[in-house]
A and B are shown apart, each in its own frame.
Chain A
């Protein structure tokens, strides 16, 4: 890295401030760029909010509990109803279901709305709060 020898050198404080500003701008730019990446930020909604939405773009996370008795499995496909006590939204998915997925589990379905049905690419589950534990 050959640098031309310049006789003028900026004062220490100026160089420090310029350096700090450059670093801050690069970092903020990196964060802003990363936030705009697909799948980086997704809306977190209840089934009622999902039901009220007319148009929804992008990835949504819908959280609620599994309606007991609503789970149906055909091959690798699973369908079930998610409720927040007010509305129920049908969810279909081909993704593997977590171990804690069962009647009354708290779930987060990650995916998008297709007509009236929620198509999930991934489902997270927390077992019904019969027992608690921490990792």
Chain B
């Protein structure tokens, strides 16, 4: 079968030429305020996108045509690989994933620049220059050191196939979502730099890119959760997050982006924190690029760094130029970035937002420290170290709990200042809910302080958010004589930014409940002959049968594990341990019975020579809520993305004005 592989390298070269052209044109357009040049620059960006698209089509067609004359195709796919996973091989390896990154970058750039042309022409020209600069870097990598179109000789009869671990539905969505998130931050980053370069430091740089920020942040959030879901269902160690360097690499930009999403609200409403906001988006984007570097350089050992590519050394100078250039321009504009307002009171919405930012940035710093400490220690002391989950958990639990509490308090406080009396009134009901939760759990015998605090804070914050919904709906119900359902939907629809945010917060609370449940995880590991049983929690697991079958790809061994829960027969689970021929590797397939109370998680870790199965079983309480929480977050994100961008940003915020409760009570 013929493939379009021959088009790949020329397309990339053309894309490089066009993006270099766009860099020159957009820079000139920005410096000279020349409309014609700006149009030409935007067209060049679009052409770079078209040719990157053509190169992507070439690689995908080569994958589907099994054109093993391309080294990339031979390394990451095989004849027996099924269709969707053949597409997955497009981003399954280093070169392909860089091409995919560049495809997203050029596509996002083209759309964002096109959309900005009317409202913010000068900003758009500078942003085009910044984006084209980034594109040139990635295309240079793709043309020379990391070309996906390097040919292989002699041509092998079959490829080595995709790692069986990656052959999972989650892996079809998780990497593209993470890349979408990482690359999407290019847009607010470029517009922030454009604002600094053009001295247009009003909020238009982030209001015009608000949807990009939200969209990228949403993609990153869901991508991270899906990565956890993949680890949970595929890796067979019973957990979903291991503080692996590459997991951290996706989590750090998420933390700073979350801080950014919150702190731009202060700039929008109160014209404060301008330096902070441009710095945050700079840090977020630098962390996103750093994450790509970590994944690609193999500098840290990680489950993800199978590919120790030759491109690591290219990323550091790029990162350096970006960070130093960014910081330099921020410093050069310090005067223009001075705040026009000040903090009025410690008990104010501004302070709550600021505390939120401090916590998120501190968390990002702690994760960064734990991730790069081994590198620093090796450089300075020659000792090679590894930082494990106990460090990250110890740092993260207090910071995370503080963030959860603040999520509840923040929306209750009014802008500028609030009297102690009104603060006490709005905090009372959630506080009672939190205390009741702690007392109930303590009576039920929960002794883990972390878990007690987590569940109480979740109850507090859920009640605080819930009361916001009730308060809003009550106004609509009374004023417009609606029933509660209509009133609730009207409330959300009328103020999508606020209530969309609350829905996201509720999702986060559910996720935290799911994570806190892991404090009660139990695990057993037993060697079972056929017919033998093991117990875990209230369950008795009996290894009752084994069946074997063969496919082109693998030999499948399916065990039948009969489950008895609290003495009653309760169906069966079917974990597998399969042998993948192309990779010469065994692979366990986990069997999970999931539910809101707890998951029963069973995996065969090995078969003995005489047929006995080593069974590892977990009972994971509340894990189900993590996925439900992510779905709720996705709902909230949809509401947020659906909301129109704010039209006017200079509206004055009066103290306690948005607090109908003080009026109606």
**A residues at B contact (CB < 8 Å):** 1-2, 12, 23, 27, 30-31, 33-35, 37-45, 59, 61, 63, 73, 75-76, 94-97, 99-100, 102, 108, 124, 126-127, 130-135
A45 to B303, CA, bound (A): 18
Is B616 a contact partner of A132 (Cβ separation < 8 A)? no
Q: Is A133 within 8 A of B307, CB to CB?
A: yes
Residues of A within 8 A of B160 (CB): 130-131
**Secondary structure of the B side of the interface?**
mixed
Q: Does B588 contact A (CB under 8 A)?
A: yes
Which B residues touch A96, using CB under 8 A? 236-237, 525, 603, 605-606, 614, 616
Separation of A110 and B399 alpha carbons in the complex (Å):
28
Known A96-B525, A99-B587: A132·B75 in contact at CB below 8 Å: yes
A129 to B592 Cα, complex, angstroms: 31
Closest to A63 in B: B301
The stretch among B143-151, B281-289, B384-392 that forms the contact with chain A is B384-392
Find out whether the CB atom of B97 lies under 8 angstroms from the CB atom of A134.
yes
- Determine the chain B residues whose CB is within 8 A of the CB of A102 once the complex forms: 584-585
Q: List 28 A-B contacts (CB under 8 A).
A: A23-B362, A27-B362, A31-B395, A34-B366, A34-B391, A41-B391, A44-B374, A44-B386, A59-B388, A63-B301, A75-B608, A75-B612, A96-B616, A97-B605, A102-B584, A127-B585, A130-B160, A130-B584, A132-B75, A132-B306, A133-B76, A133-B93, A133-B163, A134-B93, A134-B97, A134-B307, A135-B227, A135-B304
Q: Is the CB of B606 within 8 A of A39?
A: no
B338 adjacent to chain A (CB < 8 Å):
no
| Cross-interface CB contact of B162 among A30, A39, A126, A133, cutoff 8 Å | A133
Number of cross-chain contacts by CB at 8 Å: 140
- Give bound CA distance, A107 to B369, whole Å: 25
Determine the main DSSP class of A at the interface with B.
loop
Question: What string of 1s and 0s marks CB contacts (under 8 Å) between B238-275 and chain A?
Answer: 00000000100000000000000000000000000000
Smallest distance from the beta carbon of B76 to chain A beta carbons, Å? 7
On whether the beta carbons of A131 and B605 are closer than 8 Å, the reply is no
Interface residues of B in 371-396 (CB under 8 A from A): 373-374, 383-392, 394-395
B586 at the interface (CB under 8 A from A): yes
Q: Which of B163, B307, B384, B394 contacts A34 (CB 8 A)?
A: B394
Q: Judging by beta carbons under 8 Å apart, are B527 and A76 in contact?
A: yes
Contact (A33, B584) CB under 8 Å given A133-B93, A134-B97: no
Q: B184: CB under 8 A from chain A?
A: no
With the chains together, A7 CA to B236 CA distance in Å?
62
B109 within 8 Å of A (CB atoms):
no
Is B583 an interface residue, CB under 8 A from the partner?
Answer: yes
Chain B residue contacts of A63, Cβ below 8 A: 301
Nearest neighbor of A38 in chain B, beta-carbon distance: B390
Q: Are A37 and B362 in contact (CB under 8 A)?
A: no
Task: Give the chain B neighbours of A127 by CB distance below 8 A.
Answer: 583, 585
In the assembled complex, which residues on chain B have CB atoms less than 8 Å from the CB atom of A75? 527, 608, 612, 614
The residues of B that contact A130 with a CB separation of less than 8 Å are 160, 583-584
The 10 closest A-B pairs by CB, nearest first: A133-B163, A96-B605, A34-B394, A44-B384, A40-B391, A131-B160, A39-B390, A34-B395, A40-B390, A37-B390
